Structure 1
Amino acid sequence: MRRILEAGHYYCAKGPTQWAKVGWEIAKELAHNGDKTMLFIDDVHDISNVSVYEVDMPVISLGDCRPHYTIRESEVESQGLQILEQLKNIPSKKRRAELQGTVWYCSGAALTNGKGKPSCVLLDAGLSLVKQQFGFQSGINILPEFYQDQQEKLLRIVKKALPDFQLQVILYDLDGKWHYL
């Protein structure tokens, strides 16, 4: 089964920090023969969206970070909106996405903001679709522990919208201790 490991996430508005480096080291440790790696760079959000756990950290080099794929968040907006359309049209046995005021929700996750733009969860779901379109049947998102809530929501969304894509999430701390979500 083709598997892709996503790690080293950082914001263009900030640059990579130790959080990104630790994630990349975990990906290198876990990668098996045939696995591919991906770096996802947030070029959509400004510095105010950087986590309080990361915003004051120094920017560092990712060193030997040589992913097979590098994707910018702005490149997956259309795939995120494609996921939203799928969620609006899922069979009635499952709960569809629904519009509440000006925001689309599904499975407890806000999928858009009040202006119709994809939320981080929907952009991450769009990235999962890109991974599937690249021919991967499974993926592992390797992210700092402060992304737990967002990744829990993502897992619910991906299970509904991309049932043939097996997504797992690894959360880690700055010491490199990690666990599956």
Structure 2
Amino acid sequence: MGSGTSSAAQETVHLVLMGISGSGKTTLAERLAQELKRSYAEADEFHSPANIEKMASGTPLTDEDRAPWLAAIRDWMGSAANAGGTIVTCSALKRTYRDLLREAAGRVFFLHVTSDPAVIIDRMEHRPGHFMPASLVPSQLATLEELGMDEDGAVLVNSGSVDELVEQALTIVADL
């Protein structure tokens, strides 16, 4: 992936942990927020009640459903730009969604967390209290557009321990 623009060490960098539901974004984001001492937000907190109800019923969201949600995340990142950057989880499945998030003040760097779909489905089936059903994994995989070579980001394969995933991520963001 592209390394983005070179910049002063003081530049605000927002880390967006992207990928389908159940890939491990939240677990990684919570650990990175502790390690990097940055503000953290879970994108699910920005969904409207209507979006949550729609997903809970097993209906995939449309681009129109997602637009205000993505704008709210972008605005939250921008409002925290003076604090040195943020960490946010967001599926960011399509490039157009990532383009909207990139409008936030500062640099937006994507960490695409991936895992074996069978592992993800199993994880989601055993995840208590979450509105997103495992039945939506195929629609998320069908919608997912991989990071382009010209996009500022990196791919993290979630196939080991949480500690290994955190170390991979910290190695990548150390150079930002």
Q: TM-score, normalised by structure 1?
A: 0.38
Tell me which protein shows more helix as a share of its residues: 2
Q: Which has the higher strand share?
A: 1
User: With CA pairs under 8 Å and 6+ residues apart, which has the higher RCO, 1 or 2?
Assistant: 2
